Structure 1
Amino acid sequence: MANFVLQLPTSNLRSISVYASSNGAPPGTGSQNGGPVVLELPLEKIRRPLMRTRANDPNRVQELMDSIRQIGLQVPIDVLDVDGVYYGFSGCHRYEAHLRLGLPTIRCKIRRGTKETLRHHLR
Structure 2
Amino acid sequence: MSITMAADNGQLQLNAFEPLIAHLLLQSTAWLTHGCAVLRTLCVDGITANERRFAQQATTSVGAVTALTPHIGYEAAASIAKQALATGNAVADLVAAESLLDRHIAARLLSQGVRAIAGG
Q: TM-score, normalised by structure 1?
A: 0.24
Structure number with the bigger relative contact order (C-alpha 8 A, sep ≥ 6) is 1
When you count strand as a share of all residues, which structure comes out higher?
1
With normalisation by structure 2, the TM-score equals: 0.25
Q: Indicate the structure with greater helix content.
A: 2
Question: Larger C-alpha radius of gyration, 1 or 2?
Answer: 2
